Amino acid sequence: MKKNKALDRSATGSSKAAPAAIAQPVQPVSQDSAHEIRPGQSIELLKELHILTRDGKLNQDSRRKLKQVYHLYQFIEPLMQAAQQQHAEITLVDHGAGKSYLGFILYDLYFKSQAGKSHIYGIETRDELVSRSQELATRLGFSGMSFLNLSVAQSIGSAALPEKINIVTALHACNTATDDAIEFALKKKADYIVLVPCCQAEVAATLKKNKSADIKANPMSELWRHPIHTREFGSQLTNVLRCLQLEAHGYHVSVTELVGWEHSMKNELIIATNKNLPGHHARQRLAEVLKSTGLETLQHRFFC
């Protein structure tokens, strides 16, 4: 998921700051876009992220992107506030950070106003994006942000991350990266987990492969007999298994829509809150679903 020009460059594009007497004024956000920007949001940050153009305008693609991130922020903000009631300093890890739209906006709107050592870590495998994000954080003075060139799976045992993580997010982390983010969160005993799952081919591929006589005898196997249904049902089943896994570990889970389907087909939002709830029923259901769909080989993925 998600420039690199110093914030003090002049409108001519020179890398040297202009003398104070002739410094160019900061270009304001356009009136057409102003009502879509949250109060307190850094306009220069949005320009650096290429969400706003240099003349302060939003195009159709960036407007959709900003709407998604802002809508997600509305869900995450109360979680950060709740975490701070228990911990003066909180840590948030954003997996599959990409260009770190979410991390930067969370920091700009919330973390930068917090005293102490609250911190956001962005995890991303593409080295060039990690370098750009770190450079941008340095220029903006966002000292409570760090970016690590790791896969989600590698981050689970990385010494570069603290033992305790309060909030884990994974926005469109592709394929099994969302599952790795869940494993990371469970091992870190995260207070809150926020997921917007992306495609995951593993379950669908296993459904297609494991069509034993016993499975075929189950009338419910008609749900994934045809290839297109295998793909769609596999995607749905993946998220059901994820929710059961989280509940089996004592989390309260809510599932909702992130934004309207006209904006994104990968639109499911899963929020898990660590309540230390009894997980026996969810563990039993998880095992039964894996067995009835021929997915026992994926018990390592959806572990209890």
Banded pLDDT at 29 (limits 50, 70, 90): low
Banded pLDDT at 7 (limits 50, 70, 90): very low
Supply the pTM of this predicted model: 0.86
Which amino acid makes up residue 161?
L
CA 115/CA 233 separation, integer angstroms: 46
Banded pLDDT at 32 (limits 50, 70, 90): low
30 inside domain: no
CA 193/CA 76 separation, integer angstroms: 10
Average pLDDT over residues 110-115: 87
Q: Contact 273/252 with Cβ under 8 angstroms?
A: yes
Q: Which residues pair with 196 in a beta bridge?
A: 171
Task: Calculate the alpha carbon distances from 230 to 15, 75, 201, 207, 269 in Å.
Answer: 53, 31, 10, 7, 22
Cα 274 to the chain's mean position, in Å?
18
pLDDT single digits (tens) 207-234: 988 877 677 788 889 999 999 999 999 9
304 inside domain: no
CA 219/CA 51 separation, integer angstroms: 49
DSSP symbol at 93: E
DSSP symbol at 5: S
pLDDT at 88 over 70: yes
Boundaries of domain holding 245? 68-298
**Of 132, 130, 1, residue with least CA distance to 65:** 1
43 inside domain: no
Q: Determine the pLDDT at residue 174.
A: 83
pLDDT single digits (tens) 163-209: 999 999 998 888 889 999 999 999 999 999 999 998 889 999 999 88
Is residue 301 classed exposed, middle or buried when 0-12, 13-18 and 19+ CB atoms within 10 A define those classes? buried
Number of domains observed in the structure of the chain:
1
pLDDT at 10 over 60: no
85 inside domain: yes
151 inside domain: yes
pLDDT single digits (tens) 144-161: 999 999 999 999 999 999
Q: Contact 247/277 with Cβ under 8 angstroms?
A: yes
90 inside domain: yes
Least confident of 21-25, 73-77, 144-148, 197-201: 21-25
**Of 145, 144, 153, 149, residue with least CA distance to 131:** 149
CA 201/CA 250 separation, integer angstroms: 27
Q: The tokens of 164 are what?
A: 């305790």
**Burial readout 46-83 (b: 16 or more C-beta within 10 A, e: otherwise):** bbbbbbbbeebebeeebbebbbbbbebbebbeebbeeb
Q: Residue 191: count other Cβ atoms within 10 Å of its Cβ.
A: 22
State the CATH number of the domain containing residue 172: 3.40.50.150
Please give the span between the terminal C-alpha atoms of the chain, in angstroms, as a whole number: 29
Give percent above pLDDT 90 in the chain. 67
24 inside domain: no
The SS3 assignment for 145 reads strand
101-109 helix and 127-140 helix, angle to the nearest 10 degrees: 20
pLDDT single digits (tens) 57-70: 888 888 888 888 89
pLDDT at 107 over 90: yes
161 inside domain: yes
Mean pLDDT, rounded, of the chain = 86
